[in-house]
Amino acid sequence: SIIESGLNPRAVSRASAVGLWQFMSFTGRYFGLHHDGYIDDRMDPEKSTEAACKYIKQLYTIFDDWELALAAYNSGPGTVRRAIRRSGYKKHFWEIYRYLPRETRSYVPQYVAIVYAINYAEEHNMANLAPEVPMPHDTIAVRQYLHLETLANLTGTCVDDLHQLNPSLRHNAVPE
């Protein structure tokens, strides 16, 4: 999600991919992420992360190679299959590299770099000295339409905090 969205759950790409994991509409729905005029589960960090895990697992099952699975996550399994076919049916990322779109060619190396940076952060003086403390929150069940300003007034919270805690809400309201 660092590469996909810069950890922004509300990120929207030029191609209309949405959320931390940049799901396109069809792929999101296929993995159980609902979206309509009020809610977009692709922007829900928990739901979209669960869907991304299922998707990458499915891609690994298809390609039996983590680098190809990552490439397919970025450009789609059809694009990777086409690159495999064009390469003479080679089965490793670096063997099909030149047949992949430019963005996908850089995606796997970016992933490797991020993993390296996370694993060796201290050795390169990149350690996070002040971890972010999550804001206090709780979960409530809502059965009817509720405007966020009303909820903020009833609970003594700030509307901006409610937006931050509920990135999948597309408007200032919770639907029925």
Q: Which residues are catalytic?
A: 4
Q: Which residues contact 141 (CB under 8 A, 6 or more apart)?
A: none
Which of helix, strand or coil describes residue 146?
A: strand
* DSSP 8-state symbol, 18: B
Phi, psi of 149 (to 5 degrees): -65, -40
Q: What is the largest CA-CA distance in the chain?
A: 64
Give the rounded distance of the alpha carbon of 106 from its chain centre. 18
- Angle at Cα 152 formed by Cα 164 and Cα 41, nearest 5°? 40
Half-sphere CA count of 102, side-chain side, radius 13 A: 0
* DSSP 8-state symbol, 174: E
User: Please, where are the H alpha helices in 87-147?
Assistant: 93-96, 102-119
